[in-house]
Amino acid sequence: MDANAADRQGPSDAKLVAAVLRGELAAFDQLVRRYQKQATATAYRLLNNTDDAMEVVQDSFLRAFERLGSLSRRERFGPWLSRIVANLALNRRRGRALRRAASLERMAEGGQDKPEPARRDPHAATPAQLASAAELQGIIDKAIDQLPQMQAQALLLFTKAEMSQKEIAGILGCSAEAVKWHVFTARKKLKKILTDYL
């Protein structure tokens, strides 16, 4: 997650990180301004929900601030932050999938989440189609959860966040070839896991 050239005017990331570690909190504000737009775009692409994306970005900056002392390569603040954003967004996706599955189970059992009858748009998906799509998404999310973390991250950043292999390599701290391999391997494993549904 490289900041735009215009955002790079001023001190380097390494200098800003050093300033924050010396107690100059205004330097962290500069890092937030430099990376907030890109962090939000990444979170939104992974979550497809503005509110969730904004919460993930806020949590990511908070986590980055709390753990800034553990960043060994200060010039790599952007990719390090991107990894935090990706991890928190993926955790949020998993949580949403679990909540959605529980909600569908309550609806099937006649629980409180039963929708109110209303006029239906004749072009809209039926409740059965929506439940089937949500169930399938839950199955896919569970299958992704079975993948090793690096493969799951590479796959979701490539397919959902639509990032380039080079961008993903910067986030994951590996080569673009490794990203290509992780995505290929993840797809192969998913196909095997989801054989019964294909």
pLDDT in tens, 150-190: 898 898 888 888 888 888 888 888 899 999 999 999 999 98
> Could you tell me if 135 and 101 are in contact, meaning their C-beta atoms sit under 8 angstroms apart?
yes
Question: Considering the entire predicted model, what is its pTM?
Answer: 0.63
CATH number (3.40.640.10, 3.40.980.10, 1.10.1740.10, 1.10.540.10) of 5-112+126-197 reads 1.10.1740.10
Q: Average per-residue pLDDT in the chain?
A: 81
What are 101's two structure tokens?
Answer: 């599955």
pLDDT bin (cut points 50, 70, 90) of residue 6 is very low
Q: SS3 for the chain, per residue? A: CCCCHHHHCCCCHHHHHHHHHCCCHHHHHHHHHHHHHHHHHHHHHHHCCHHHHHHHHHHHHHHHHHCHHHCCCHHHHHHHHHHHHHHHHHHHHHHHHHHHHHHHHHHHCCCCCCCCCCCCCCCCCCHHHHHHHHHHHHHHHHHHHCCCHHHHHHHHHHHCCCCCHHHHHHHHCCCHHHHHHHHHHHHHHHHHHCHHHC
Q: Where are the domains of the chain?
A: 5-112+126-197
Q: What phi and psi values does residue 9 have, to the nearest 5 degrees?
A: -60, 135
CA nearest to 87, candidates 158, 161, 175, 153: 153
Q: Which of 82-91, 104-113, 160-169, 189-198 has the lowest mean pLDDT?
A: 104-113
pLDDT at 102 over 60: no
**CA–CA gap between residue 143 and residue 48 (Å, rounded):** 20
